[in-house]
């Protein structure tokens, strides 16, 4: 059985903090699927298709990292793709408290799916998609927070 992991999120946009978590999780899993969740309570700045294209642009030659768009419960999508692991990044203690609540709910819904937490590198602690979106909206330079593929596409 291969170790398939889902890294769910909105990735609006995907940041260097997200990429850090993905890259450091690679030794742990055979495949990581970066799942762009459609959350009806959020109004994303970028389309799901645009966010998916960024993932493909960041990892163009990787057979172990894929992007996908999904709707509904994360545990249901895990079943659909054969993932037994959910990957989550933690920046602060408050992130852990929030993420643990979700992990507990997911475990109740499907005890065969385990959540794995990785703490972000300290240099990416302040990198949040919300802040990056604000920088972009106000015509600031978001390049220190974004992978090259994302930054380049925003300039175009």
Residue numbers in the chain where pLDDT is lower than 50: none
7 phi, psi to nearest 5 deg: -110, 95
* Domain extents in the chain: 4-155
- Is residue 123 marked as binding? no
Residue numbers annotated as active site: 18, 42, 91, 129
Superfamily grouping for domain 4-155: HUPs (3.40.50.620)
Is the pTM higher than 0.85? The answer reads: yes
Cβ atoms within 10 Å of 80's Cβ, excluding its own? 12
HSE of 156 in the Cβ direction (CA atoms, 13 Å)? Answer: 6
- Is residue 125 marked as binding? yes
- Is residue 152 marked as binding? no
pLDDT at 106: 97
- Of how many residues is the chain composed? 156
HSE of 120 in the Cβ direction (CA atoms, 13 Å)? Answer: 21
Residue 7 near residue 35 (C-beta atoms within 8 A) = yes
Q: Mutual orientation of helices 48-58 and 148-155 as an angle, nearest 10°?
A: 130
Residue 113 near residue 86 (C-beta atoms within 8 A) = yes
How far CA 105 is from CA of 79, 102, 108, 113, in Å, comes to 16, 5, 5, 11
Gap between the Cα atoms of 144 and 92, Å rounded: 20
pLDDT at 92: 87
Question: Residue 7: beta bridge partners?
Answer: 34
Gap between the Cα atoms of 104 and 15, Å rounded: 26
How far CA 146 is from CA of 38, 113, 122, 135, in Å, comes to 21, 30, 16, 11
């Amino acid at each position: 059985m291969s170790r398939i992991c889902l890294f769910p999120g909105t990735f609006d946009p995907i940041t260097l903090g997200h990429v850090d978590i993905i890259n450091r999780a690679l030794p742990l899993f055979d495949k990581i699927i970066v799942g762009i969740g459609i959350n009806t309570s959020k109004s994303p700045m970028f389309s799901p298709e645009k966010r998916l294209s960024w993932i493909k642009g960041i990892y163009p030659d990787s057979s172990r990292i894929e992007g996908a768009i999904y709707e509904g419960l994360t545990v249901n999508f895990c079943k659909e793709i054969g993932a037994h692991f959910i990957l989550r990044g933690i920046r602060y203690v408050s992130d852990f408290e929030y993420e643990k609540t979700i992990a507990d709910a997911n475990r109740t819904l499907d005890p065969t799916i385990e959540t794995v937490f990785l703490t972000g590198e300290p240099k990416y602690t302040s990198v949040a998609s919300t802040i990056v979106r604000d920088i972009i909206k106000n015509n600031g330079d978001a390049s220190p927070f974004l992978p090259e593929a994302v930054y380049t596409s925003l300039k175009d």
